Amino acid sequence: MDINSTSPALVFSALGDDTRLELIQRLLEGTPKSVSYLSRGFNISRQAIRKHLHHLEKAGLIRPTKVGREQLFQIQIEQIESSCKYLEEISSQWDIHLKNLKTLLEDKA
């Protein structure tokens, strides 16, 4: 089983929350960050943030490393990239569809 393969729906659902998108934004800057550090600035509890991090982790969007008493998280960019490809694929299928429609109309005319 490929460790990098998570279902598109799982990844999108992990991305489908404002708090989690904000966490991802914060993880984009600088070095890996701890749960406590990431909790600061939100007005919900550390445990709530930890649950959001679990979602991101399960979807393969972040990766934890234990360092001393801290759990440090960093972005796993591959999942973002493959979700992006998934959406590009939809767009291109739609383009093909529109092109087919157009030829169909021209043939009728």
* Residues near a second copy (CB under 8 A): 7-18, 20-21, 24, 28-30, 75, 77, 80-81, 83-84, 87-88, 90-91, 93-94, 97
Nearer to DNA, 22 or 78 (CB): 22
Q: What is the DSSP string of 77-88?
A: HHHHHHHHHHHH
Q: How far is the CB of 8 from DNA (least distance, A)?
A: 14
- C-alpha to C-alpha distance for 84 and 32, rounded to whole angstroms: 23
Which residues here bind DNA, judged by CB under 7 A?
A: 16-17, 19, 34-37, 43-48, 50-52, 55, 67-72
Q: Edge-to-edge strands of the sheet including 62-67?
A: 33-34, 70-75, 62-67
Q: How far is the CB of 20 from a second copy (least distance, A)?
A: 8
Which entry of DNA, a second copy, none binds 26, CB below 5 to 8 A by partner kind? Answer: none
User: What does the radius of gyration of the chain's CA atoms come to, in whole angstroms?
Assistant: 19
For the chain, the residue count is 109
